[in-house]
Amino acid sequence: MKKFLFVLLLAFCGLSSAQTFAQVKSGSVGLGLQVGDPSGLTLKFYNAGRASVDILAAWDLNDYLFVNVHALYHKPLGSARNANFFYGPGAFIAFYERGRYEDYLGAGISGNFGLNVFFDQFELFGQITPRLQVIERTDGDLGGGIGLRFYF
């Protein structure tokens, strides 16, 4: 995991030094994919200077449907205008169908911490998401992943 985070940080540093990029504007909507735990579709409503809303929908057709929503705040990384540290609180709901859990609904609170870089109409991001399930069972979990969004 440490090697993965180091490589991701190097990639962000290389991309943040690029001089040609278009800043994503406040009110833009980003749609993309996240690969990790869980993997799924991601939708982000970007608000510069205020909380952005990030939604992740993930599923395994034989096991679960998972939706995670976060309010994310962005802080620039040094002098790079297009690279940020982001963080924020959130909540999740999961419908487990089979596997280690028998049919049940799970829900809880989560946080989100990560790095992102904007280039042209794209956002590359890496994030870690600690979760605490409080409904049905009490359970802690750590998720996260890397992803790419296109803004329109």
Q: Higher confidence at residue 64 or residue 44?
A: 44
The burial class, CB within 10 Å (0-12 / 13-18 / 19+), for 87 is: middle
Q: What integer pLDDT is reported at residue 144 of this predicted model?
A: 93
Task: Give, rounded to a whole angstrom, the gap between the first and last alpha carbons of the chain.
Answer: 32
Looking at the DSSP assignment, which residues form a beta bridge with residue 55? 43, 69
Residue given tokens 């790079």 in the structure block: 80
State both tokens at 96. 């487990």
Domain that holds residue 130: 2-151
Banded pLDDT at 29 (limits 50, 70, 90): very high
Q: What integer pLDDT is reported at residue 73 of this predicted model?
A: 97
Please check the confidence at residue 54 and state whether its pLDDT lies above 70: yes
Average pLDDT over residues 137-146: 93
| Cα–Cα dist 128/144, whole Å | 4
Please count the structural domains in the chain. Answer: 1
| Cα–Cα dist 129/127, whole Å | 7
Mean pLDDT, the chain, whole residue set: 85
Reported pTM: 0.81
Q: What integer pLDDT is reported at residue 5 of this predicted model?
A: 46
Return the SS3 of 75: strand
- Domain at 105, CATH number: 2.40.160.20
Question: Smallest Cα–Cα separation from 110: which of 133, 131, 139?
Answer: 131
Average pLDDT over residues 78-107: 85
Banded pLDDT at 126 (limits 50, 70, 90): very high
